[in-house]
Structure 1
Amino acid sequence: MDILATLSRGASLHVVGKIFFNVFGFLLHLVLSRGLGAGLYGIYAYGKTLSRIAIVFTNLGSDQSVLKYLPEYSDDAAQQRLFFGLSVLTSLVGSIVAAAVLAVYAPVISNLTIDRPEFIGVLRLFAIITVFDTLARIIHSSFRGLERLEYEVLSSKISRPILRLIGVVGALSLGYSLTGVMVALVVASGLVLGIASYLLLSRFELRPWISSDQVTRSSVFEYYNFSIPLTMKNAADILIRRVDIFMVGLFFSSTVVGYYNISLLIAGFLTIPLMGFNQLFPPIASRLYMNGEIPKLNSLYNTVTRWVFTISFLMAIGAFVYRAEILSLFGEDFTAGTPVLALFVVGQLFNCLGGPNGYLLMMTERQYVLVVNQWVFGIVNVVLNYVMITTFGVLGAAVATAGVFAMLNIVQTIELWYFERLFPYSLNFLKPLFAGVITTIVMVSIRYVMSDTVLLIIGGLTGVVTYGIVLLAIGIEEDDKEFFGKVTDGVK
């Protein structure tokens, strides 16, 4: 329970920060979509997608490596500095190279995809953001590796969305269009990097330092033997999570990219609980595995997965039932994405049902299995997207990607059982399923008497209350009672 308390504290911090981040992110995309229109917003969304793809290669998996090596060498400050130094150096060089490629080949990329002149300038400004965001990501991961999540939340989840929203609102208020908005976002990214650097230097003794007497062939091999496979895994992850947007940009207009991207972002809200627990799960899982505490690790895996699914299932119901009303907030052009949003909700629900299976494979030293998974399903996703898009249009992209989400999580859950005898499910999962069925009936019924924003507010609150009452009526698990009892005693 002490581990669960630590993990839940990290999850709670992340969830609070993520809610803050998503609320301001929601406002940011609302302002962008309303201020720019679906066409220009689609250009922004496509450029951001390409930037995020570039960031995967800029740090060669260094943001994940610090999650392993900082806690692993918690008693060896010199080794911590060495591995952190390798992370920073790798990220700096990689981000500059990636930014240069993106800037130089911007005209070529524009000609092959969204062939509009303003897209070239947008890509070049995103190249600068790529450098800032890569370095900031390393620092944010170091906060997680040191299990001081509050600093990551302050810098990444609070400061970043506030600065971005202020910049965008300011640019639009002064009459600037897409280029002015992008300049404001470049400034915001630079400020976030500055804040993260200040927090690291002022609150921690950790510094990136690579000395000739420390750098050995074995230490370098150890680092890149872990980080490079993760880069390969993350590259394949693009094929699963981002190739659909890339291919939508190849086949359709920027307007279609706009409502497709909004649908994907809204469905991404379902992963807030999973991402919350994933903030401190990797270092804790790594420590339990290295100490041979497999039963405790399996119990943690089971509980975390059940909690993640229980929360995400309620969010999925709301997003599915009220999908048209949610999209209408961004403008009438975006309601065309209603069926796309429905499919992504189902796909993300399977993602949450898998729990932290990807991180668990990574921390049990099955990183190469993770790489194979990502590449196999990534290639499958590319093929399926092409076939489905050419057959069914933009809806086919959502069908393909949502299906791959589901298949990948099923396979990774089976692999964890096969390799480590770790399995997250039990009959206790039937409780949120039953509560979800009742909640769905209630929320659908409310649609007959309300509509638009009123429906979202009243229907959403009613759904939350119904779901909670049904879960309480069915009964809370004993380990949950014990955990919440400890939390309550701690507050008292």
Structure 2
Amino acid sequence: MSKDEILEGQRLKTIAHGAGLTFIGSVVGYGLKYILSIVLARFLGAQMVGLYFLGQTITNLAATISRAGLDNGVLKFIPSYQVHGQEEKVKVVVVETLGFTFGVSILISTIIFVTKSWVARFFEVPGLVKIIPFFAIALPFVNLMTVAAALAKAFKRIDYSVIPVNIVQPLLNLLAISLFFLLGFRIFGALVAYILSLVLTSFLSLFYIRRLSPGKYTRKGFLQIGSLVIYSLPLLLVSFLNFITMWIDTLMLGFFKGAFEVGIYNAAVKTATLSSFILVSFNAIFAPTISELYSKGDMKELGRLFQTVTRWIVVFTWPMFLFILLFSKDIMLLFGKEFGIGSTALTLLALGQLVNSAVGSVGYLLVMTGWQKLMMINTLGICFLNILLNYFLVPRYSIDGAAAATGFSNALFNIVMLIEVAIILRVQPYNVKFLKPLLSGVVASLIVLLLNSIVPAFDSVIVFQAIFFIAIYMRIMLAMRLENEDKVIIESVLRKLIIRGGSIG
């Protein structure tokens, strides 16, 4: 085995290990949030759950603005101070970031509370005025939790970031909501449960940050917030554009249609984006590898890793898309009978997510290789396109129009970046090895469709169908033989499980 092959294998193991850590937290978090969405929809119905999601979206927009990009800024300042041994300045950044964010959040929460009637009239959604005050109370704690998670990442403690946000908060929220629903409370119980889960998680996050930066905090030298805000404000623009791109469909539906449509649409969104944690998991660890290889000028190795990582992402996301395509209506009915009309929207959104996953880490390839301005232009352009498409399609086609606008914008955004990466960096993610997962998925789909047509009882339980479909897909994949790089990731994961299992067996 050559030196280059050994180094490539080591990098693949690093990516597999790092992605695995993020993957576990993401799976649990997305799973809990998805179950929570089903519980909310089942107990509240489309109209009330639509109010809940619309209020949450408005609050998240306010939270993005009130953080002023500081959750991204600390990722630069804290590591920089640590490298130079300036621990006092690290403490300054921690205290001032949390204090500034909490103070601005209180101010914006007050403004939201005072203007709640105007906001409700703007959307012309009955009942929204009663929902907004609860989310205004939640706003400061949303930001405390988010900024504390960013601080944990800056300290290179991903576990302290993932556990509170991805596991503790959704789990507490789910437990509290279930308890309130059992006691007979409906929307009031859901709102109080949300606030309680955020308050408790915020305290846990602050406890973690205190452990990461122990010692005495003084007021000496508390002069960093100005520099931090100046640095972070451009990042606020990026965060704001990303938020608008992600949530303009929900806001437009609330404005042009109503809470009922928002409720059904958000059920489709949460289902379609279930697969996104796979891309996020691999991006989290592949991003620094991109920077490392590009700085060394090793574009050949970067291209090979790009192809391998993208194929791994497709291996996991392709069957999820196919299953949604086959059973979109059955999946939507999990939320309740009235949600069945969202099946077309679910398919359109899932298609956009598939393109997002199928192009791999193209966004990070641009950012990590010095093309941030081009990325900003891309984001700005797609944001305006998404707004325009939603503006024209939502009034005419309702939830299907919102899904078409968002799905198309998402797909076009990623295709444009894929072309830019191919032209600028001369790398592309595809090779003949992609045929294995693609063919495996198609064959598995045909087998499931055949069983559906000849075995009437087969389509009675959606969970059973999902397990059977994945089992068939994986069996076909294995029958086609694994690639060498696939063996690397599987061996790495199995070794990790065996070590952690210890005495098991």
Same fold, TM-score > 0.5, yes or no: yes
Superposition deviation, residue 121 in structure 1: 3.0
**Contact 2:164 2:201 survives alignment (8 Å):** yes
Q: Give distance in 1, aligned partners of 2:446 and 2:293.
A: 42
Superposition deviation, residue 447 in structure 1: 2.6
Q: Give distance in 1, aligned partners of 2:75 and 2:359.
A: 21
Superposition deviation, residue 263 in structure 1: 0.5
Q: Give distance in 1, aligned partners of 2:42 and 2:124.
A: 20
**Contact 1:85 1:207 survives alignment (8 Å):** no
| Matching residue within 55, 62, 67 for 1:59 | 67
Q: Give distance in 1, aligned partners of 2:83 and 2:268.
A: 45
Residues 60 and 8 of structure 1: is their aligned pair in 2 closer, same or farther, counting only changes over 3 Å? farther
**Contact 2:93 2:224 survives alignment (8 Å):** no
Q: Give distance in 1, aligned partners of 2:62 and 2:468.
A: 42
Alignment match, 2:446: 441
- When structure 1 is superposed on structure 2, of 394-403 and 475-484 the one drifting more is 475-484
The one-letter code matched in structure 2 to 1:163 is L
What's the RMSD between the two structures over aligned residues?
2.9
CA shift digits 1:134-161 (9 cap, x unpaired)? 1211222333344432222321222111
Q: Give distance in 1, aligned partners of 2:430 and 2:114.
A: 49
The one-letter code matched in structure 2 to 1:345 is A
Alignment match, 1:106: 116
Task: Tell me the number of residue pairs that the alignment of Structure 1 and Structure 2 aligns.
Answer: 487
> Do structure 1's residue 176 and structure 2's residue 182 form an aligned pair?
no
Question: Where in structure 2 are the equivalents of 1:329-368 lying within 5 Å?
Answer: 329-368=334-373
Q: Give distance in 2, aligned partners of 1:142 and 1:433.
A: 40
Alignment match, 2:102: 92
> Do structure 1's residue 141 and structure 2's residue 150 form an aligned pair?
yes
> Do structure 1's residue 426 and structure 2's residue 434 form an aligned pair?
no
Residues 215 and 152 of structure 1: is their aligned pair in 2 closer, same or farther, counting only changes over 3 Å? closer
Superposition deviation, residue 8 in structure 1: 2.5
Residues 331 and 384 of structure 1: is their aligned pair in 2 closer, same or farther, counting only changes over 3 Å? same
Residues 445 and 231 of structure 1: is their aligned pair in 2 closer, same or farther, counting only changes over 3 Å? farther
> Do structure 1's residue 261 and structure 2's residue 266 form an aligned pair?
yes
| Matching residue within 460, 478, 486 for 2:484 | 478
Superposition deviation, residue 435 in structure 1: 1.4
1:393 is paired with a residue of what secondary structure?
helix
Alignment match, 1:459: 465
2:324 is paired with a residue of what secondary structure?
helix
| Matching residue within 6, 9, 33 for 1:25 | 33
The one-letter code matched in structure 1 to 2:308 is T
1:279 is paired with a residue of what secondary structure?
helix
Q: Give distance in 2, aligned partners of 1:456 and 1:209.
A: 58
Alignment match, 1:315: 320
Alignment match, 1:40: 48
Superposition deviation, residue 489 in structure 1: 5.1
- When structure 1 is superposed on structure 2, of 480-489 and 307-316 the one drifting more is 480-489
1:161 is paired with a residue of what secondary structure?
helix
The one-letter code matched in structure 2 to 1:442 is I
CA shift digits 1:389-415 (9 cap, x unpaired)? 233333111111100010000112222
Unaligned runs of 5+ in 1: none
Q: Give distance in 1, aligned partners of 2:140 and 2:11.
A: 36
Q: Give distance in 1, aligned partners of 2:467 and 2:225.
A: 58
Question: Where in structure 2 are the equivalents of 1:24-423 lying within 5 Å?
Answer: 24-70=32-78, 75-78=83-86, 81=91, 87-89=97-99, 91-116=101-126, 118-203=127-212, 205=214, 212=221, 215=224, 220=227, 224-225=230-231, 227-286=232-291, 288-289=293-294, 294-423=299-428
**Contact 1:443 1:460 survives alignment (8 Å):** no
- When structure 1 is superposed on structure 2, of 17-26 and 307-316 the one drifting more is 17-26
The one-letter code matched in structure 1 to 2:169 is R
- When structure 1 is superposed on structure 2, of 240-249 and 92-101 the one drifting more is 92-101
Q: Give distance in 1, aligned partners of 2:213 and 2:299.
A: 32
Superposition deviation, residue 119 in structure 1: 1.6
Q: Give distance in 1, aligned partners of 2:326 and 2:236.
A: 37
Q: Give distance in 1, aligned partners of 2:37 and 2:436.
A: 35
Q: Give distance in 1, aligned partners of 2:117 and 2:234.
A: 31
- When structure 1 is superposed on structure 2, of 56-65 and 246-255 the one drifting more is 56-65
The one-letter code matched in structure 2 to 1:278 is N
The one-letter code matched in structure 1 to 2:188 is T
1:37 is paired with a residue of what secondary structure?
helix
**Contact 2:257 2:395 survives alignment (8 Å):** no
Q: Give distance in 1, aligned partners of 2:316 and 2:219.
A: 43
TM-score using structure 2 length: 0.87
Unaligned runs of 5+ in 2: 1-8, 500-505
Residues 276 and 397 of structure 1: is their aligned pair in 2 closer, same or farther, counting only changes over 3 Å? same
**Contact 1:68 1:282 survives alignment (8 Å):** no
Q: Give distance in 2, aligned partners of 1:322 and 1:216.
A: 51
> Do structure 1's residue 15 and structure 2's residue 20 form an aligned pair?
no
- When structure 1 is superposed on structure 2, of 316-325 and 65-74 the one drifting more is 65-74
TM-score using structure 1 length: 0.89
- When structure 1 is superposed on structure 2, of 196-205 and 103-112 the one drifting more is 196-205
**Contact 1:144 1:279 survives alignment (8 Å):** no
Superposition deviation, residue 293 in structure 1: 5.5
2:335 is paired with a residue of what secondary structure?
coil
The one-letter code matched in structure 2 to 1:102 is I
Residues 302 and 109 of structure 1: is their aligned pair in 2 closer, same or farther, counting only changes over 3 Å? same
Q: Give distance in 1, aligned partners of 2:216 and 2:431.
A: 44
The sequence identity of aligned pairs, in percent, is 26
Superposition deviation, residue 289 in structure 1: 4.8
1:242 is paired with a residue of what secondary structure?
helix
Q: Give distance in 2, aligned partners of 1:160 and 1:390.
A: 35
Q: Give distance in 2, aligned partners of 1:58 and 1:208.
A: 25
2:428 is paired with a residue of what secondary structure?
coil
Residues 452 and 379 of structure 1: is their aligned pair in 2 closer, same or farther, counting only changes over 3 Å? farther
Superposition deviation, residue 436 in structure 1: 1.6
Residues 130 and 213 of structure 1: is their aligned pair in 2 closer, same or farther, counting only changes over 3 Å? closer
